[in-house]
């Protein structure tokens, strides 16, 4: 499958990259797991205090994920960095290399937890693995090719998906 490239004349990176495909893919996977275990099989559903625990953590993660996505997508100035061919390493990008993907992943993890079903827990790791494999084989290659050592050093300092200051 060939992905459409939204590159303008002289621009070296696509504006959207693999993002829409990746986000819709992990969203669909999460929805399928929720339907399968929450409605069809109805197994692994926790009750009692676990309902409150899972829903509370899930709600916090949904909000946190939405905030991370919002900052990365709409408040970071990433579109300008792409059109100017500059590597974005400040703001939220000093905490996580892919805040838009991370935000979706964290929010989907929260949504899964809201269902208080232990069989949805593997979806967190499956989504993380999919994001990691796709990014390593697409955007990270593009960025390394474009920015070389600058991006290589950035990768050493900043996590791919989990927002956390390393150094």
**Residue 82, pLDDT score:** 85
Q: Label residue 5 by pLDDT band (50, 70, 90).
A: very low
- Model pLDDT for residues 62-92, shown as the tens digit of each residue: 999 999 999 999 999 998 998 888 999 999 9
Average pLDDT, integer, range 19-44: 95
pTM over 0.75: yes
**Residue 12, pLDDT score:** 61
**Residue 19, pLDDT score:** 87
CA–CA separation, 68 and 47 (whole Å):
30
CA–CA separation, 28 and 35 (whole Å):
10
Query: Which of 62-66, 99-103, 111-115, 160-164 has the weakest average pLDDT?
Result: 160-164
Average pLDDT, integer, range 94-119: 97
**Residue 6, pLDDT score:** 44
CA–CA separation, 119 and 108 (whole Å):
15
Q: Label residue 141 by pLDDT band (50, 70, 90).
A: very high
**Residue 3, pLDDT score:** 42
More confidently predicted of 83 and 44: 44
Average pLDDT, integer, range 6-13: 52
In the chain, where are the structural domains located? 20-157
Q: Is 137 exposed, middle or buried (0-12, 13-18, 19+ CB in 10 A)?
A: exposed
CA–CA separation, 38 and 156 (whole Å):
40
């Amino acid at each position: 499958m060939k992905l459409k490239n939204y590159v303008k004349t002289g621009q070296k990176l696509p504006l959207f990259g693999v993002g829409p495909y990746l986000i819709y893919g992990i969203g669909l996977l999460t929805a399928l797991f929720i339907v399968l275990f929450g409605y069809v099989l109805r197994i692994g559903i926790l009750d009692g205090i676990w309902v409150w625990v899972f829903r509370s953590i899930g709600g916090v993660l949904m909000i946190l994920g939405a905030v991370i996505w919002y900052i990365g997508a709409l408040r970071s100035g990433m579109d300008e960095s792409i059109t100017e061919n500059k590597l974005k390493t400040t703001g939220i990008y000093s905490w996580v290399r892919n805040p838009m993907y991370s935000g979706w992943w964290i929010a989907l993890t929260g949504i899964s937890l809201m269902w208080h079903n232990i069989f949805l827990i593997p979806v967190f790791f499956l989504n993380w693995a999919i994001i990691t494999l796709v990014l390593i084989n697409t955007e990270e290659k593009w960025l390394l090719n474009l920015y070389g050592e600058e991006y290589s050093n950035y990768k050493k300092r900043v996590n791919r998906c989990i927002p956390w200051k390393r150094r």
